């Protein structure tokens, strides 16, 4: 009974060392040549010994194999064995690197805090953004080091606001370089043509300030025949609208979009601080293109004050 117990214990020890050697063989890519040869030899010897043990386990032979294996492991392989803490960091840096590559070059996440794009994008929508569509930007750097496709009229883009605060915003491109634009009240002209609108419905929503707002939604069509939804608050008195226009730098005058710049507006036209007020978006400020909603919840004054939870928005795709 004692002999069989010793045999089982030795077989477990040899099997444990075998797994350690196999790990070293698989994970340690740049072993010295002599170590690599000894490693291969040791694994072959273990494989041969295992065949013998299965047929007729002999305590004396097992002790000999175990002694030689332990001696060789301590002398040659011990410094290459797996270290739990070190291996954790060794794997973690790769995970962090992949996460950073995904975030800055592939897929980013953006939470919409305001109602400037209602009803296309709702307050509290969390968006996955394709960061590679228009170019690539080094982490924490300003400007793209590689540029791909330029945005077209009608595209929704994410970008950094062209001012020192550099807030991340999401708006729709209304004008591209060279376009002539004229805005008067609710009318929008691009290259001398007024954009066509067709009434759709009335939309009621709770603003980011907690007010219940009713807007009139239209299907707006640009000169490329791209159609998207925009909204105006037609309950705004004319004197208040004129006051709003007094703050609008690019209202009631014709202007041309400069080279490598874009004119953007929110789809909720009366609740959007956009290019009408702070100017053009430089090409290098563009970050990406929204893909779809991955989560949507609108909070009030705190995270415990849920205005609206929208599980039905999850998976909503932006064309």
Domain map of the chain by residue range? 2-82, 99-185+227-313
Of the pLDDT bands very low, low, confident and very high (cuts 50, 70, 90), residue 263 is very high
Q: What is the DSSP letter of 104?
A: I
pLDDT category at 191 given cuts 50, 70, 90 is very high
Beta strands per DSSP E along the chain: 107-111, 125-130, 135-136, 146-147, 156-160, 168-175, 180-184, 187-190, 193-194, 196-206, 212-221, 227-232, 254-256, 261-265, 281-282, 286-299, 306-309
Looking at per-residue pLDDT, the higher value among 108 and 167 belongs to: 167
pLDDT in tens, 278-288: 999 999 999 89
Lowest average pLDDT, out of 55-69, 151-165, 216-230, 292-306, goes to: 55-69
As a whole number, the mean pLDDT across the chain is 87
Q: Is the peptide bond before 297 cis (omega within 30 degrees of 0)?
A: no
Distance CA 75, CA 71 (A): 6
pLDDT exceeds cutoff 70 at 102:
no
| pLDDT value at residue 138 | 67
Contacts of residue 138, defined as CB under 8 A and 6 or more positions apart, other chains included, come to: 104, 145
How many helices (H) does the chain have, and how many strands (E)? 6, 17
Kindly give, in sequence order, each residue whose CB lies less than 8 Å from that of residue 195, ignoring residues fewer than 6 positions away.
Answer: 188, 189, 220, 221, 222, 223
CA–CA separation, 38 and 33 (whole Å): 9
Q: Would you state the pLDDT for residue 103? A: 66
Q: Which CATH architecture has domain 99-185+227-313?
A: Ribbon (2.10)
Token pair for 252: 């009631």
What 3-state DSSP class applies to 95? helix
Residue 83 or 246, more confident: 246
pLDDT at 164 (0 to 100)? 81
pLDDT 10s digits, 112-156: 999 999 999 999 999 999 888 888 776 666 667 788 899 999 999
As a whole number, mean pLDDT of residues 35-46 equals: 86
């Amino acid at each position: 009974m004692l002999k069989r117990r010793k045999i089982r214990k030795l077989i477990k020890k040899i099997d444990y060392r075998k797994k350690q050697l196999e790990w070293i063989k698989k994970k340690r890519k740049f072993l010295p040549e002599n170590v690599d040869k000894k490693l291969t030899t040791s694994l072959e010897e273990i494989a041969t010994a295992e065949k013998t043990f299965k047929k007729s386990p002999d305590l004396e032979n097992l002790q000999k194999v175990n002694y030689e294996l332990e001696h060789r492991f301590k002398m040659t392989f011990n410094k290459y064995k797996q270290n739990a803490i070190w291996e954790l960091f060794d794997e973690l840096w790769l995970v962090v690197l992949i996460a950073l590559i995904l975030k800055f070059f592939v897929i980013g996440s953006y939470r919409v805090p305001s109602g400037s794009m209602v009803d296309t994008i709702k307050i509290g929508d969390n968006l996955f953004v394709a960061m590679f569509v228009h170019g690539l930007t080094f982490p924490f750097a300003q400007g793209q080091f590689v540029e791909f496709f330029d945005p077209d009229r009608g595209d929704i883009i994410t970008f950094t606001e062209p001012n020192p605060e550099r807030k991340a915003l999401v708006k729709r491109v209304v004008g591209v370089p060279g376009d002539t634009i004229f805005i008067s009240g609710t009318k929008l002209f691009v290259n001398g043509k007024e954009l066509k609108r067709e009434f759709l419905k009335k939309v009621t929503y709770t603003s980011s300030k907690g007010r219940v707002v009713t807007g009139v939604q239209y299907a707006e069509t640009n000169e490329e025949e791209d159609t998207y939804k925009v909204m105006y608050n037609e309950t705004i008195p004319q004197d208040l609208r004129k006051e709003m226009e007094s703050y609008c730098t690019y209202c009631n005058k014709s202007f041309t979009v400069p080279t490598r710049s874009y004119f953007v507006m929110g789809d909720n036209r009366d609740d959007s601080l956009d290019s009408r007020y702070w100017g053009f978006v430089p090409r290098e400020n563009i970050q990406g293109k929204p893909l779809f909603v991955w989560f949507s919840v609108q909070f009030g004054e705190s995270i415990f004050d849920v205005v609206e939870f929208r599980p039905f928005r999850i998976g909503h795709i932006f064309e």
